Structure 1
């Protein structure tokens, strides 16, 4: 068994969707495409992935419709939900090593990382990644923060070869159309001059990303750590295309 691939969705500013992207991509790979994954929630201030998992457990227990959906899915899937490990940036690699030594064999491990490039523990954690994906939105402050973060990783880490990172790409998130907007194209031209690039696929802005389940009703799940996205909500999201592009980059 080859070593797992370490992938992180990382930024230094909240609100750009790194935890949502981690959950969406990990769940699609695992529940739809059969790729063994695990997730490491390194955001010790709020542990968003764990919050998602606890919410998933609650709604699939309390909502009769989602309970039936969950039962039907797992009767066919015949595997447990993927593991979400809770840790701090300082302990993330050691916790992951112990998880692997216990006999777990994921092909891809996703790390949900937040913080600043000036934090020693986060720098060390980023240095252990194989691939980095930096969410970016068209909101001015979030955009500037993501570009600054990616530029610092490139110049302070990748350029000096003090990291395992093979590739880093920005990911346009919360875009109003399925294609890159004119503003995205302008920023892409700007960051190209900095030696950075973004993925071809954008993730569409939609209220479907808030479809994470309720205690009542027949609304399917889109963002879930326990189930694949509802096919009715998947249409038009660009999630399938995004996962395909990421798979091509990380080679799984």
Structure 2
């Protein structure tokens, strides 16, 4: 079997959506499209994906509606939830390689997702990022977050990719929390600016919506959108561009 593709969503500023994007894309690929994968949570300052998993376990146990939804899904899915491995940036590559080497053939991942804090001042994180096959950098239209994402992406391209010190095949920015399903005028202006500096973004944008915060509660009959144990509720996907985003990312990473 071919080696898995190493993919990271990384930024150097919190709140842009890297952990949410990692979870949404991984869960859609695994639960809705059957792609075998593992997630490596190496954001050791908060381990957001593990927090999401712990939350999922609580709400699907305490909320009868979600408990039934979980039961119905796994009757037909016939696999366990994908594994989330907690580690540090320093050990992440060794941990991922060891998991891949020791996984049974039927569980060999096609993709390994890394949730990374994107600071370029930590040599362990720089080394980890340089060993990714594909890097996706969330970007929003908020001035500070936009500047931070562009600065981080530029540093990766100029200090790693153009000088041949990385395995990264492609870096793409991902417009997130956009007020419409299409790129806004500001997105287009910034895309033109970024292209002049060797950067580009995905065609698909993710809209700004409270749906992305729907991760289940102990009571109520609302489905889960962001979950590490279930695919996004079909009723909540409409209008978010998530399916289009996953399709575009899948074409890029070739899985």
Which residue in 2 is equivalent to 1:97? 97
Q: Partner of 2:14 in structure 1?
A: 14
Q: CA deviation at 1:220?
A: 0.2
Q: How does 1:47-196 map to 2 (within 5 A)?
A: 47-103=47-103, 104-196=107-199
| 2:254 paired with 1:251 | yes
- Deviation at 1:192? 0.5
In structure 2, the residue corresponding to 1:145 is in which secondary structure? helix
Structure 2 counterpart of 1:211, from 189, 214, 223: 214
Number of the residue aligned with 1:230: 233
Structure 1 unaligned residues grouped into runs of 5+: none
Greater alpha carbon shift after TM alignment, 136-145 vs 114-123: 114-123
Post-superposition shift, 1:98?
1.6
CA distance in 1, matches of 2:118, 2:138: 13
Confirm whether residue 27 of structure 1 aligns to residue 27 of structure 2: yes
TM-score, normalised to structure 2, is 0.98
Alpha-carbon distance, 1:55 to partner: 0.3
Tell me which stretches of 4 or more aligned residues in structure 1 moved more than 3 Å: none
Q: Secondary structure of the equivalent of 1:200?
A: coil
SS where residue 221 of structure 2 aligns?
coil
* Secondary structure in structure 2 of the residue aligned to 1:153: helix
Preserved contact between residue 118 and residue 152 of structure 2 (Cα < 8 Å): no
Deviation per CA, 1:100-149, whole angstroms, max 9, x where unpaired?
A: 12225100010000031121001100011000000000000000000000
Q: How does 1:36-55 map to 2 (within 5 A)?
A: 36-55=36-55
* Partner SS for 2:235: helix
Which residue in 1 is equivalent to 2:200? 197
Helix, strand or coil for the counterpart of 1:224?
A: coil
Count of matched residue pairs = 252
Aligned alpha-carbon RMSD (Å): 0.6
For residues 177 and 198 of structure 1, what CA distance do their matches in structure 2 show?
A: 16
Residue segments in structure 2 that go unaligned for 5+ positions in a row: none
